[in-house]
A and B are shown apart, each in its own frame.
Chain A
Amino acid sequence: MEKIIFYDWHKGFNLIAFNKLLRKHLGYSLSQAKQAVDDLLGGQKVVIEVTTPTFNIDQFLSEAAKIGAEGRRDVSAIVNKAVLSPLSLSSHYEKLPYIGLMKEWTVPSYSVKSLTDSIQPKFNNLTNPIPKK
């Protein structure tokens, strides 16, 4: 499942058009779409989960950009997979240019955190072989 993150808006942002866009492409209800628009206006990030495999994210993002909403594809899942298994990188090659567009976090720090998060539980499960005196 892929995610889209809307993180900012420009002057002249067409609120009603963005509301309609969310409803048309994602099947949001009027109130759900309005809540998303209000969150974005208030400076919060709006994360949208795309469940339909045929959904054209690039087209959706370009339509949103035309009406003043700034968003990007969330590539954290792809980066995680690529860091843990470098061979899988090639299969996501076409999506990687988006990494360059990310402003809010850098790939290395995120990767280290995700690696730590995935490895830590394995250590937690180990019992200490040296008995305490």
Chain B
Amino acid sequence: MDVSIVEYEKATGAVFIIAKGKQGDIEIIAEMLTTTYCLILYQLHIQGTGAGSSSISELRAMAQTLGKQQKVREVIVFGARRVTGSSVGMQAKSAKGKVPKPLVFKIE
């Protein structure tokens, strides 16, 4: 998978990534923190071409490519609050949308 970092703000760690998925470009905005061992993508926002256009296997492939590019052994993704799915209902504003569990991808 073709993954490229389009923009990176060194001071804040904000990063804008574009990945070429099977059904079009997938855009990602997150706060990136890199150590010698792992790469952390914090408060990740992701947008594909539409519902069902991407999958967890594509996200895994994306993490693999990014991990290899940055020469780390692990990529950890902390997703931001969900804006789609059943968790977005009639809750109070502050509780609307679930915060997903962090995903850990080992780089092979």
Contacts and interface: CB of A to CB of B under 8 A. Distances in A.
B70 to A, nearest CB: 18
Interface in A8-37: 8-9, 11-17, 19, 29-31, 34, 37
B36 to A, nearest CB: 24
A129 B7 CA distance: 67
Contact of B83 (A15, A19, A30, A34): A15
A42 interface: yes
27 contacts: A8-B93, A9-B83, A9-B96, A11-B83, A14-B83, A15-B45, A15-B80, A16-B46, A29-B9, A30-B7, A30-B9, A30-B12, A30-B14, A30-B16, A31-B9, A31-B14, A31-B31, A34-B29, A34-B31, A34-B45, A38-B43, A38-B80, A41-B80, A41-B81, A41-B97, A42-B94, A43-B93
Interface of B: 7, 9, 11-16, 27, 29, 31, 43, 45-47, 80-81, 83-84, 88, 92-97
Interface of A: 7-9, 11-17, 19, 29-31, 34, 37-38, 41-43, 68
